[in-house]
Amino acid sequence: MRVLSGIQPSGNLHLGNYFAMMKRMIDYQESNDLFCFIVNYHALTTVSDPNVLRQKTLDAAMDFLALGLDPNKSHFWVQSDLPEVHELTWLLSIVTSMGLLERSHAYKDKTAKGITATHGLFAYPVLMAADILICGANKVPVGKDQKQHVEIARDIAMRFNSSFGETFVMPEADIEDDIATIPGIDGQKMSKSYGNAIEIFADEKSLRQRVMSIKTDSTPVEEPKPIKDNPLFEIYSLFLDDKGKQQLKERFETPGLRYGDVKKELFGVIWEYFTPYREKREQYSKDKAYVYDVLKMGAEKTRKVAQEYVTKARNNVGLNY
Ligand code: AQP
């Protein structure tokens, strides 16, 4: 199975990114053909400072490596090191109707939040379709917010195949129901740009502050606490197996539980969970030359696959005059 997913270097990576996508990708690398990349062209739709983009791109690469992505078992690269993706984007755009793109929730949400409605933002799903189709991916592990984009990629692939003959593999979004939308400290979807994220590699003080600020309701101590729409319960559950979740549920339902105590405990759980990764992350930050080499090698390896798909698409539309 060919598994592909990407992450935007648009800020510091957080628990939503980790549990919905990064951890699952790392687990998949053992028994699948893994394609994992840092989508810096996409990030350009929201990041306007070149230094920030450079720094966050390298940070995302170090984060992934520290968390266990093995560049020898996978294809791991930065999107802009694969220029073929732009040729494919154009070829796909000729079968992409305006209506399809106008229905994109992400585009509507971002423009509603005040982000300028540029062509780049509007055409984002076509570039994402090219990212997926250029590698022949079957499975795309994502959070729920990206489901529609993967469906758009399927739609575009189908239209291209029916217009020009069988060219692309049909990709499918791979979403885990329990973690489809991980809440941030305010209960809204955790997001780099909403200021509500718990960052994976936050320092101890910031992590403690973040966890202590998770929004809770005003249920009196002597009453049972709700678990539905309760970000404290949902975030804590990410670190527990089924038995642990059941025990946490029972604790919430037992009168006397103090949210403050649970938050202190959760801080300890998160800090400890990421400690070994944090140590590896520090090692990578002292050996950036290695990280650049890994990315260069990853791009070369991926370009071989990409060129096959682009050549097939070029030939099928008749560019091979
Ligand atoms: N809160 C979340 N719950 C579940 N999945 C999430 N993902 C992100 N936030 C959550 C998933 O993480 C992967 C990488 O995301 P991305 O960086 O490519 O873009 P995004 O979805 O736009 O993430 P952010 O953090 O919300 O970034 P900004 O603020 O820059 O838009 C994706 O699979 C995504 O579903």
Angle, helix 259-285 to helix 204-212, in steps of 10 degrees: 150
Among 67, 52, 90, 73, smallest CA distance to 14 is for 67
Q: What is the pLDDT of residue 257?
A: 95
Q: What is the pLDDT of residue 21?
A: 96
Reported ipTM: 0.95
Q: What is the pLDDT of residue 289?
A: 97
Angle, helix 105-112 to helix 119-133, in steps of 10 degrees: 150
Exposed/middle/buried for residue 194 (C-beta within 10 Å: 0-12, 13-18, 19+): middle
- How many other CB atoms are there within 10 angstroms of residue 116's CB atom? 10
Q: What is the pLDDT of residue 115?
A: 86
Would the pTM of this model clear 0.90, i.e. be above it?
yes
> Ligand 1 pocket: which of 4, 21, 49 to mutate (most atoms <8 Å of CB)?
21
Q: Which residues pair with 2 in a beta bridge?
A: 33
The ligand 1 atom nearest the CA atom of 106: 22
Token digits of residue 241: 């197996």
pLDDT-flagged residues of the chain (< 70)? none
Q: Which residues pair with 34 in a beta bridge?
A: 3, 74
Residues 254-302 have pLDDT tens digits of 999 999 999 999 999 999 999 999 999 999 999 999 999 999 999 999 9
Among 230, 235, 208, smallest CA distance to 219 is for 230
- Euclidean distance between CA atoms 256 and 224, whole angstroms: 8
Q: What is the pLDDT of residue 194?
A: 86
The ligand 1 atom nearest the CA atom of 7: 18
Q: What is the pLDDT of residue 193?
A: 83
Q: What is the pLDDT of residue 8?
A: 96
217 CA to centre of own chain: 29
SS3 173: strand
SS3 202: coil
Name all residues whose Cβ lies below 6 A of ligand 1. 5, 7-8, 10-11, 16-17, 20-21, 46, 142-143, 145-146, 181-182, 189-193
User: For the CA atoms of the chain, what is the radius of gyration?
Assistant: 21
The residue whose CA is least distant from atom 24 of ligand 1 is: 191
Q: Which amino acid is at 96?
A: T
Q: What is the pLDDT of residue 100?
A: 96
SS3 141: strand
3-state SS of 47-100 is CCCHHHHHHHHHHHHHHHHHHCCCCCCEEEEEHHHCCHHHHHHHHHHCCCCHHH
139 in catalytic set: no
- Euclidean distance between CA atoms 99 and 105, whole angstroms: 12
Q: Where are the alpha helices (DSSP H) in the chain?
A: 15-17, 23-28, 40-43, 50-67, 84-93, 98-102, 105-112, 119-133, 147-164, 204-212, 231-237, 242-253, 259-285, 288-317
Q: What is the pLDDT of residue 110?
A: 87
Q: Which domains does the chain have, with CATH numbers?
A: 2-180+287-317 (3.40.50.620), 201-282 (1.10.240.10)
Q: What is the pLDDT of residue 138?
A: 96
Q: Which amino acid is at 313?
A: A
- Euclidean distance between CA atoms 117 and 122, whole angstroms: 7
Q: What is the pLDDT of residue 178?
A: 87
Residues 49-85 have pLDDT tens digits of 999 999 999 999 999 999 999 999 999 999 999 999 9
**Catalytic pick among 189, 205, 263, 280:** 189
